[in-house]
Amino acid sequence: MSKKVCVIGGGVAGLAVAIGLHQQGIDVEVVERDKDWKVYHVGIIVQANFIRALEQLGLGKAAVNAGYPYRGARFMTPAGEVLAELPGESQVDGLPGDLGLTRPALHEVLTGKVKELGIPVKLGVTFESFEDRGDAVDVEFTDGSSGTYDLLIAADGNYSAVRKVLWPDAKPAFTGQGVWRYNVPRPADLEWSDLYIGVQNGYKGKAGYCPLTPEEMYIFVVTEEPGNPRFDPATLADEMSKRLAGYGGMLGEAAKAVIDPALVVYRPLEACIMPDPWYQGRVVLIGDAAHSATPHLGQGAAMAVEDAVVLAEELGEDQPIDAALRAFMDRRFERAKLVGTSSIMLGEWEMHPGTAGDPVEVTERIRRTLAEPV
């Protein structure tokens, strides 16, 4: 039976699921609130399971070509001595294990495919209201149009408006840390993403960098930010530099380039991990709307694309919608929860170093688990 699906949100999860559904022969439409359909300029770190999931959508190679494959992750002391190496392990023949890319580059890969496939996307539009009638969902849009769908997919991110309607008590909570990011030139010999762990200058977190293109890398510093302060935009470069002071190695050198407050991207870390199920009737949450974590494992985008691939596969099967949604949850819940809770735990360990476990062991174990088929 032919199905018709509406996706709210044209980000990583929404675009990936739209591509997957189109490939299954399902009629799909996307609405995206941002009329300019833009993403901010910093980078994103992804691993082999992200590349594998994108490859299932026919986009693995395009993503790799848009970014910079590197050798893997290294854990360092604040002074810049190597503590441990986790080389990336490929899960797709001919494609790498670890990849850095700018957010606009990833956005370009996904939007390019959506346009090529002719999937309808309404920009500057969101839902006004929706009503699940049991056998279909009626949706009214803010541009005055309306539609009737077999399924409404909410891929509208961490602050999901759809989730607010159906689960009004579920809200992202501040985890205690914030992350500061800045793009700088890539040193010619940088082939790893390095994480400098341990308390530095009294700031409880970590710092590091990741190559994004042959010319560019981005540096980040994650710090405890008691009380979740708001910063004057004019002070962002000074605040970030203060948090990077005293680091050694390549990070110490790279930190000198943090001078323009307008190029600093600061985000308090806020997470919301929904319990099973992520659906009510014919409305389902995917990506950050269902399980936003902190970036400690660099897995948010991978979880979003894996959700998309699995949901499209299950909806492509000859089964009722509720059976497809249940099968989707059975394949996705434990995996996304493991990533979410472990990411938050790594941040907790950074803030409470006296009680911390071994972040290298956790990261390595989760990488192995995520290499298993979804």
Ligand X SMILES: Cc1cc2nc3c(=O)[nH]c(=O)nc-3n(C[C@H](O)[C@H](O)[C@H](O)COP(=O)(O)OP(=O)(O)OC[C@H]3O[C@@H](n4cnc5c(N)ncnc54)[C@H](O)[C@@H]3O)c2cc1C
Backbone angles phi, psi at 313, to 5 degrees: -60, -45
User: Is 195 near ligand X (CB under 6 A)?
Assistant: no
User: Is 359 near ligand X (CB under 6 A)?
Assistant: no
Among 9, 96, 172, 208, binds ligand X (CB under 6 A): 9
User: Is 356 near ligand X (CB under 6 A)?
Assistant: no
Q: Tokens in use for 113?
A: 């495919």
User: Residue 76: how many CB atoms within 10 A of its CB?
Assistant: 24
Minimum distance from residue 233 beta carbon to ligand X (Å) = 17
Closest CA to 179 of 140, 125, 228: 228
Kindly identify the residues of this chain, within the stretch 274-303, that bind ligand X according to CB under 6 A: 287-289, 295, 298-302
User: Applying CB under 6 A, which part among 8-16, 109-117, 199-207, 311-319 lies near ligand X?
Assistant: 8-16
Among 304, 311, 315, 321, binds ligand X (CB under 6 A): 304
Minimum distance from residue 181 beta carbon to ligand X (Å) = 7
Backbone angles phi, psi at 155, to 5 degrees: -120, 45
What totals of helices (H) and strands (E) does the chain contain, helices first? 11, 20
User: Is 38 near ligand X (CB under 6 A)?
Assistant: no
Q: Whose Cβ is closer to ligand X: residue 5's or residue 289's?
A: 289
Q: Are 307 and 13 in contact (CB under 8 A)?
A: yes
* Amino acid in the structure at residue 66: A
Angle, helices 321-351 vs 359-370, to 10°: value is 160
Kindly identify the residues of this chain, within the stretch 63-102, that bind ligand X according to CB under 6 A: none
User: Is 157 near ligand X (CB under 6 A)?
Assistant: yes
User: Applying CB under 6 A, which part among 32-40, 115-123, 226-234, 318-326 lies near ligand X?
Assistant: 32-40
Is the bond into 277 cis (omega within 30 degrees of 0)? Answer: yes
Q: Are 291 and 270 in contact (CB under 8 A)?
A: no
Minimum distance from residue 26 beta carbon to ligand X (Å) = 19
User: Is 14 near ligand X (CB under 6 A)?
Assistant: yes
Backbone angles phi, psi at 89, to 5 degrees: -120, 120
User: Is 305 near ligand X (CB under 6 A)?
Assistant: no
* Pairing of the two strands 27-32 and 4-8: parallel
Backbone angles phi, psi at 162, to 5 degrees: -65, -45
User: Is 340 near ligand X (CB under 6 A)?
Assistant: no
Size of residue set near ligand X by CB under 6 A: 31
Among 26, 119, 137, 155, binds ligand X (CB under 6 A): 155
Binding stretches for ligand X (CB under 6 A): 8-14, 31-34, 44-46, 126, 155-157, 161, 179, 267, 287-289, 295, 298-302, 304
